A and B are shown apart, each in its own frame.
Chain A
Amino acid sequence: MNRCLICQKQIKDFSLNKFLNPNELICDNCYCQMNSIDKKFKINGIKAIALYKYNDFMKKVILQIKMHKDYELAQNILNNKINSLKRKFKNYYLVYVPSTKDSDQQRGFNHVETIFNGIGIKKDNIFFKKENYKQSNIKFKDRNKISKIIDLKKRPQINQKYLIVDDIITSQNSLKTCINLLKKNNVSKIKVLVLAYNCRNNKKFYSLKLLKRIIFKI
């Protein structure tokens, strides 16, 4: 009898999910709250997919992985999507947006590598951060400074298809930096995959917010 990795309640025996995946480690309730969107969008012309919305629940789950150092949750969080992702990115070279070295050491593992571990046979850590710099602690307007922090440590192969992965996308600056570094080295086939979508520069989002403000503050 398995217990859910997130809410620690027992996983019900009689559900379609459990029937198809008998070794499931996350319960249906938690899967629902994670709000899977599979959003397709573009960054500087490069096709990107975001798997989940960065809502309060997703925040809690990612916190459990990063701050509470839950290795088993990091390994199993993409269990229900791993097969389709494997098929989709079969011939891609998996590369990771770099993490801060100190946090990785303190945590004992790199969460991005562990989460996306199941996808792809070819994978490598070709980016690195020149200094200890946490993008999550920086204010939105200063986030373009990351372009001076991330650099390549290995030269990428020109005719290879690259898949850049990251856990959360907010200002898109980290990913843009990595994309530009690959483009500079004449890589033409690039795609992006992120776990949680937290972008705010969406015109529809802003007009809705403005409308809400007008109605309720009068």
Chain B
Amino acid sequence: MFSYDNSGRCYCRKCLEFGGEVVNISKYIDPPNFKFKLNYDLSKEQEGISNDLLNCNGDAYVNAVCGAGKTEIVFKSINQFLKKGQRVGFIIPRKEVVKEIFTRLNSVYKNIKITYVCGGHTKDVEGDIIVLTTHQSYKYKNKFGLIIVDEYDAFPFKNNEVLHKFVQDSCYGKKIFLSATFDKELQNRNYFSLNKRYHQQKLPVPVFKKVPDNLQGIFLFFLIRKLLKNSNKVILVFFPTIALSKKYFLILKVFFKGEIIIFNSKISDKDKEFKKIKNRKYKIIITTTILERGITIENVDLVVVHANSRIFDKSSLIQIAGRVGRVYPYTKGSITFIANDKNLAIEESIIEIKNKNE
């Protein structure tokens, strides 16, 4: 899969988008004199896996439910590698989650250089801990002693052999893979499971409502009205495509003036709007799968419209359902899947969440 340019040189077609400069930094770092302080204790299960990761040899896979506190589990391993003088990389497929993880790490580590590198933010590329997107990993060949790959099954990383190769090549030491939804084939390696959220409460189970396609708008309107009576709840409404979300948004805007906003990958000022959403400025958020992973908003209820669309596969629905009940004490919330018929993805996702609760 290669072509020739006008001077006769060969170039690879799969690597077209990865044309930026490779980062020129040292392979090892001076062990930083950092301070690590966690303001809360880990749960028993989190402690157990944290120690297992320290002691295991070779790559590790952690299957943790959404909101289980995966980031906290790896802190001990990060500290171990920093003391050895090896750089640590936190690799994530989604740009939005990069900034969240960066803020979390900054609040826990002091006296150490932490940077984040993603599209549009590539000026500062060096650090002792670097948080980056999978697309940036081609610049860091053999620069990390430990990498933590979060959201292993997220788009665009999933099934993309080019990105997989770049991520593997970036690390000369240990690799830890985190996700809530792994394929079964990985079960014979260093495989650890964390089925409980850090606050020990059960995962909210989604409810399926069978509604014909053209009545879903009216149903959604009454459902939102009912959920809004529970004041203080923020309602997330997921649509399969931006076009569909825009259509419903225009109509719902008339009834819920001032309380509703649309958030997708094409709006301007994404960061500003996202900050407003986190500050709970809006009560209803119309969105697409962009908010399916990584983000944490307290006290939410959730609705997925056209839930049998092809875009919502099993792991996507599990991740969306994982947005509810992440922060103590708001551990319960309603999750509604609306579709004109139940499909395999909806059935399997509901079964898997129920199984994890036992």
- A residues contacting B by CB (< 8 A) are 3, 5, 8, 64, 67-72, 108-109, 114, 216
Q: List 25 A-B contacts (CB under 8 A).
A: A3-B1, A3-B13, A5-B13, A8-B1, A8-B13, A64-B16, A67-B19, A68-B16, A68-B17, A68-B19, A69-B5, A69-B16, A69-B19, A70-B13, A70-B16, A71-B3, A71-B6, A72-B3, A72-B4, A72-B13, A108-B5, A108-B6, A108-B7, A109-B6, A114-B6
Per the CB 8 Å criterion, the residue count for chain B at the interface is: 13
Asked whether B275 is an interface residue with its Cβ less than 8 Å from the other chain, the reply is no
Chain B residues with Cβ below 8 Å from A64 are 16
Q: Are A8 and B14 in contact (CB under 8 A)?
A: yes
* Interface Cβ pair total, 8 Å cutoff: 34
* Bound-complex Cα distance A67 to B16 (A): 9
* Bound-complex Cα distance A72 to B13 (A): 10
- B residues contacting A by CB (< 8 A) are 1, 3-7, 11, 13-14, 16-17, 19, 250
Shortest Cβ distance from B103 into chain A, in angstroms?
31
Shortest Cβ distance from B249 into chain A, in angstroms?
10
* Bound-complex Cα distance A63 to B19 (A): 13
Shortest Cβ distance from A104 into chain B, in angstroms?
11
* Bound-complex Cα distance A69 to B4 (A): 11
Chain A residues with Cβ below 8 Å from B17 are 68
Shortest Cβ distance from A190 into chain B, in angstroms?
29
Chain B residues with Cβ below 8 Å from A114 are 6
Chain A residues with Cβ below 8 Å from B1 are 3, 8
Shortest Cβ distance from A86 into chain B, in angstroms?
21
* Bound-complex Cα distance A83 to B343 (A): 49
Complex: chain A residue closest to B3, CB-CB: A72
Q: Are B250 and A109 in contact (CB under 8 A)?
A: no
Residue from B1, B3, B17 having most chain A Cβ neighbours under 10 A: B3
Chain A residues with Cβ below 8 Å from B6 are 71, 108-109, 114
* Bound-complex Cα distance A12 to B313 (A): 26
Complex: chain B residue closest to A73, CB-CB: B3
